[in-house]
Amino acid sequence: MDNRIRILEALTTAQVGGTEVMVLQLAKSLDCRRFSCHISVLDGPGPIVGRALASGIQIHDLCGRGSYFGAASRLRALMKAQRYDLVHLYGFRMSLLGRLVARSMRPGPIVVVGIRGLHAIELGERLGFRARAALTIERLMHSLVDAFIANSEGSVEFLSRQGLSKSRFVVIPNGIEASDWCRSDTHSADREFTIVCVANFKPAKRQHDLIEAMSFLLAHDLRVRCIFAGDGITRLSAEKLVRQRRLEGVVEFLGMLTPTEIRALLHQAHVFVLPSLWEGMPVSVMEAMAAGLPVVGSNVPGICGLVVEGVTGYLVPPRDPCLLARRIERLAKDVDLRAQMGRAGYERIVTAFSLERMVQRHAEVYTNLADVPAAAPHEQLTS
């Protein structure tokens, strides 16, 4: 008889992003003697599907006819057939659909919602109509959730200010295997200084600010180049800005890369930059730190939880390409400082953000929740 805890990790998309990568790592790393873990995808196949199958993880596609009603029907049939003890839902749309389906079943699985970033929408700096509507829905429906697992304190602070009870949250930071990203070589001092930014192209990531910073750097006669990895809706406008600033040949766009390609890219870089308006806990920054790179990032929740100002890199206000350029310039001119910050970043990942710790904390929370009847949401959970 299989007494393992049966878990469904339910994703909204199967694209390559921080959430998807972390969920795949979690599913691969949970002790298979204690947990049986499947993955489902709401929006249809993507790169994560192939990676999951290659790792021997069973994956279920909820996309098909009938839009959300069809997806709800397929999810209900999946839950009924597999008899999951717990469903862990990621993404605002998946979290709403999943909790409604789970609560329509008797008995139903325990419902956990994963909070990545600001969860409901990409807010930027203002709460627009859609943001307010989404948060109102979340306040009305949060009682259908047994527990929220957030990857950063910043996410909890934001959502608690919007009316969600702080006691319902557990904070489990992302984790990676630092040894998979570290390098043993060092850069030659006369090699062209290379900046790397790995991120999806969307408004909140603000790649445009790094392009503007490149103009400042070249005006100071620095021999420098910038490489962007990733794709998305703002890539075309970023490429247009590069042409307007006459940065062709200095700024390069590589598109979506595999983990192996990203690792190679980080190993040839000198500094990693992420000028986002907000973040949850960016995996790209963690990977860069594990690769021994100093990081220059926005001083926003998520990034400031990883980067220690003046120790592992620099934090700058969002939307300030001039200061961003000055911090990059300081690192470009000081080889020893780069090496010192790189070592400190690697040690920070090893000690505070290991994959082992992340997996262990999830296993503890899953086990504790599985011991409680799913019909009654929990009154109190502590991180």
- Cα R_g (the chain), whole angstroms: 21
Q: 10 Å Cβ neighbour count for 189? A: 7
Write down all domains in the chain, each with its CATH number in brackets: 5-175+354-370 (3.40.50.2000), 178-352 (3.40.50.2000)
| Dist. CA 318–CA 219, nearest whole Å | 22
Q: What are the DSSP calls for 113-172, one per residue?
A: EEE-TTSS---TTS--HHHHHHHHHHHHHGGG-SEEEES-HHHHHHHHHTT--GGGEEE-
The verdict on whether omega for the bond into residue 107 sits within 30 degrees of 0, i.e. cis, is yes
Identify the bridge partners of residue 11 per DSSP, sorted by sequence position: 41
Contact between residue 283 and residue 263 where contact means Cβ atoms under 8 Å apart? no
Please report, in tens digits, the pLDDT of each residue of the chain (383 residues total). 689 999 999 999 988 778 898 999 999 999 999 999 999 999 988 888 988 999 999 999 999 999 899 999 999 999 999 999 999 999 989 999 999 999 999 999 999 999 987 665 444 445 567 777 888 888 899 999 999 999 988 888 888 888 888 999 999 999 999 999 998 665 555 578 999 999 999 999 999 999 999 999 999 999 999 999 999 999 999 999 999 999 999 999 999 998 899 999 999 999 999 999 988 889 999 999 999 999 999 999 889 999 999 999 999 999 999 999 999 999 999 999 999 999 999 999 999 999 999 999 999 999 999 984 444 444 444 44
